[in-house]
A and B are shown apart, each in its own frame.
Chain A
Amino acid sequence: PPQVVPGADPSARQLCFAWGPAEVLVCETRFGRAGRAGAGARVLTGSVADSAGEAPGSSRVFVVRRDQDIYIQTLRKLFNESHGIFMGLQRSEEELAGKSRKAQLVQVSKNYRSVIRACMEDMHQAAVSTRDPALQGQYSTQVSILSAMELIWNLCEILFVEAAAAGPLLLRLLDWVRLHVCDVDSMVREVLSSENPSKHKLFWNVVDVFVLQGRMDEARHLLSKEATANPTSMNMYKILDDLMKKMPMPSLGNTQTLTELELKWQHWHEECQRFLQDGTFASNPHMESICKILLGDEDAILEKKELMTTWYHFLVTRLLYSNPTVKPMELRFYAQSSMDLFLGGESSPEPLDMILMAAFEFEMHQVIKECSIVLSNWWFVAHLTDLLDHCKLLQSHNLYFGSNMREFLLLEYASGLFSHHSLWQLGVDYFDHCPEYGRVYLELHIERIPLNTEQKALKVLRICEQRQMHEQVRSICKIMAMKALRNNRLGSALSWSIRAKDAAFATLISDRFLKDYCERGCFSDLDLIDNLGPSMLLSDRLTFLGKYREFHRLYGEKRFPEAARLLLTLMTAHIAPCSFWMTLLTDALPLLEQKEIIFSAEQTYELMRCLEDLTAGNVDKQKFQEDDETTKVEMLRLALARNLARVIVKEGTVEGS
């Protein structure tokens, strides 16, 4: 059904639109109507008010969501619970064959229906308790939609999932009618609760209702009240009561075969016929009409149209009294004629009627197609189709773009869920069970979930990791790490890069730390750097950072020889980036100037080599270097030379004497 976007007026402003994964963006452009063309063909997509004042007011962006229903609060229970049932169905054992499997599937179907009914209850409560008339209207509409869904599902359960055979089929259909045609319930209650039911003006209506719905015991009970009140018709009553008592009904167990039932029924039918023709009930029109109904007289049944309210009630009553052993495949003929007779050309069938008709005709695909068109949400068709698929009833009807109908509907449903800030988690499981395209859809959708808390990001990450979606893991961790970095949360940023095993980012973070150190002369976030542990090995720069901090610690603890050794290793093992060598050598200065000799001769030679390596590259740049640089280099050279001198003497000296 076409949707109107409130506020977007194409006659006032020219509109443009862009498709998104679950939404459409509609924007007002700079161009108004009636020849107000702006310079060039540029289109502003939803930006701020035009400064030149050309267009009146600011441009607005409309976000048009495809699936409105997921935002209805009371339907959330439906989505959540049905997700649980869906998962249970997917995981259930396929090895069970025959009856037990069928019983299992019927149970699943019943579970779905009870969820729909529970939701209907909640929605009804909401409608009753709200004071806002618009909301009330919305809730009431939802209640009737849910009720229709349950009606259709129930019929599909009887005809397709349970595939009731002739005999039990009628009983199931009777239950179905009794459950869903409830317009007469209030009338029934009223009569039953009155002091003297037989005197009530609607008494016969209620008796008729019971007869039409095949509720023989209840009808007989009421009739007995009439008999006691009206002794003159005692004779008639006894006969009618007897007929009703003896009426043969199909049974659920295996107590009789269909042929037996048919014979008995034929016998009984003839008996009723005789009593009617004998004029037994002639003096009481009510009882006579009941007898006619028992005989399956269509006109007599049709007279009670208002009590039946729907053509499918008429259908079932007709079957009850003319062909109780109807076979499933025969239903279609009765259905079509019932609808025609009932509607009688006055009114045309509604969408619901067409869907039910398609079901009676066993046209499953038609049912699904009609439901898809009529309903605003994919929930119903997706779950029903999935169930029917599990019953192995849908031929692998390949659609032109490769996936089958079940998968198509599940994909559509799950995609709708993904536009919801919280229900997307359910969508993940649905995608998992779409073998062809599920994974691709998931990959595309999962990166677009807004991550406003770390906890949410962790949940998304876990989903990606469990499905080996490494690209997405890296991408999400990078996003979170960047956010953390921007907020100056270096520890968080590092934690995210460790999760993604992202060496490049770890290098970035370490550089940030080192930069801070160079600017401030001290380390920030010591609790992080001091406790890097094995994660230090993630990136070379990170290792350097850890070790450099260790050097400072050793120096602070006055463990100079160890500090010296570490410092040297940092340079010779090329752990330190070249840019940092100058700083390291400068750090070596105080060690060289110490009273005791710390660096050995070999170490000193190493240091000198490092210095030469460093300055060799700078030969070109020299004159433009700051004096600091050259001073430093000179100081270093001097210190190194002095240390070398001292250490040679010391090492050359023979101990003792």
Chain B
Amino acid sequence: QDNRISLWSTGDLGNVGLNGEYHGEPHLLCDIQHNGDVMDMQFLDQERIVVGSSTGTVTIFRHHQNNQTLSANHWWEKAHHHVDQDTSCGGAVCTGVVCNNPEIVTVGEDGRINLFRADQKDAVRTIDNADSSTLHAVTFLRTTEILTVNSIGQLKIWDLRQQRNEPSQIFSLAGDRVPLHCVDRHPNQQHIVATGGQDGMLSIWDIRQGTMPVSLLNAHEAEMWEVHFHPSNPDHLFTCSEDGSLWHWDASTNVSEKPSFLHQGGRSTTYFSHSTINQSVVSAWLSNDPTKDRMEITNLIPNQTLSVNSLDVLGPCLVYGTDAEAIYVNRQLFA
């Protein structure tokens, strides 16, 4: 198998046409061989990328901008592993990686949570058997707290300051323990958390209260692989799924105030208005009143065939990758 980490440039400003449309394709800057499947990756800083592999190894790659190359800077081999009955250490799949420079947290199919620091050779902390099932994803709640989701439908908060190997709080879904595959936290309001499940359901949680989700939204027809709040416009949420669709959830509150004939494709044109965000005391995500706030949901993929495995969003750009071995870049998300 030939798996590679590749760095692409989606073009220079010179390629912008009359309408500000982007012409030209993303082009490959550099790439490097990777051992095992790339399960998750995240930028640690401007130059370094942390990658979790299906072999259980966690690697930091450095991008050298002067000569456009990638090199493996540092790695923790068998960061995730199973202990076989004949005590041979088999690697276990690392399923999730999250960074908060210089700290890196990884989780895997072995139910282990690792805390690394970018400059240190060994793990700072390892919680063995943190979970009896597979941990599918991890994200930072606060600088010292992380959120994990597992395959028996539980959302757990871990306080890394404490030495005990127990989660400080456990949340779970009400009915069937459907595995949760992804988790993301609201950028500004840290008590709002979104998770996606194996049945394609999007759950919004308020971790200040209760142990069950605030709202359950029937979304995709198959596993939801990733969920992301837009980092600067958190009234927008993006989810992608095995069913081949990528949904844009628009919960900007002034959607309902406009008369419907002014909607242009259901997209709000004043999402930039900061005053709106500050005014909403209760975020649109937590509001339970369906008559008051309408959410616009758009499928961004016209001809869906194979699964959309991963997405990321920053500013006006959206990038996503599919099982048809294609990467799509949308640079005008809110146009």
On A, residues with C-beta under 8 Å from B are 73, 76-77, 80-81, 83-84, 87-88, 421-422, 425-426, 429, 452-455, 458-459, 462, 486-492, 494-495, 498, 524-525, 527-528, 531-535
Contacts and interface: CB of A to CB of B under 8 A. Distances in A.
A531 B173 CA distance: 10
A80 B306 CA distance: 10
B82 interface: yes
Contacts of B213: none
Interface stretch (B253-261, B262-270, B321-329): B321-329
A462 B309 CA distance: 14
Interface stretch (B16-24, B149-157, B276-284, B291-299): B149-157
Contacts of A426: 306, 324
Name the residue among B37, B134, B177, B323 with the largest chain A CB count within 10 angstroms. B177
B111 to A, nearest CB: 6
Contact of B303 (A73, A88, A425, A498): A88
A559 to B, nearest CB: 20
Given A489-B110, A525-B132, A495 B152 contact: yes
Contacts of A488: 82-83
Contact of A80 (B2, B307, B324): B324
Given A487-B84, A489-B133, A492-B151, 16 more contacts: A73-B2, A84-B305, A454-B151, A459-B323, A462-B223, A462-B242, A487-B83, A487-B92, A489-B111, A492-B109, A494-B133, A524-B132, A525-B129, A525-B132, A532-B177, A533-B173
Interface residues of B, number: 48
B127 interface: no
A525 B130 CA distance: 9
B303 A533 contact: no
A483 B307 CA distance: 26
A83 B172 contact: no
Contacts of A453: 37, 39, 54, 93, 109
Contacts of A492: 109, 111, 132-134, 151
Given A83-B324, A453-B39, A498-B177, A531 B152 contact: yes
B326 A80 contact: yes
B238 to A, nearest CB: 19
A524 B307 CA distance: 37
B176 A533 contact: yes
A170 to B, nearest CB: 36
B1 interface: yes
Contacts of A421: 1
A528 B152 contact: yes
Given A80-B324, A489-B111, A527 B39 contact: no
A528 B132 contact: yes
B35 to A, nearest CB: 13
Interface string B122-155: 0000000101111000000000000000111110
Contact of B109 (A88, A489, A524): A489
B134 A459 contact: no
A533 B175 CA distance: 7
5 contacts: A84-B305, A462-B222, A492-B111, A528-B133, A532-B177
B1 A531 contact: no
Contacts of B152: 491, 494-495, 528, 531
A535 B154 CA distance: 14
A76 B177 contact: no
A491 B82 contact: no
A491 B150 contact: yes
Given A533-B176, A534-B175, A491 B111 contact: yes
A623 to B, nearest CB: 38
B234 interface: no
A69 B176 CA distance: 45
A280 B175 CA distance: 96
Contacts of B151: 454, 491-492, 495
A422 B223 CA distance: 19
Interface in B287-325: 303, 305-307, 323-325
B176 A534 contact: yes
A454 B134 contact: yes
Closest 6 A/B residue pairs (Cβ): A491-B133, A491-B132, A525-B132, A487-B82, A495-B151, A528-B132
B59 interface: no
Contacts of B82: 487-489
Given A454-B93, A488-B83, A489-B110, A495 B154 contact: no
Contacts of B37: 452-453
B198 interface: yes
B303 A76 contact: no
A545 to B, nearest CB: 13
A527 B170 contact: yes
B179 interface: yes
Interface in B151-169: 151-154, 156, 167
A348 B154 CA distance: 72
B132 A527 contact: yes
A83 B92 contact: no
B85 interface: yes
Contacts of A527: 131-132, 154, 156, 167, 170
Contact of A487 (B110, B175, B176, B223): B110
Contacts of B326: 80
Nearest to A429: B305
A491 B110 CA distance: 11
Contacts of A455: 39, 93, 95
A531 B93 contact: no
A491 B132 CA distance: 5
A80 B54 contact: no
A426 B326 CA distance: 13
Nearest to B325: A80
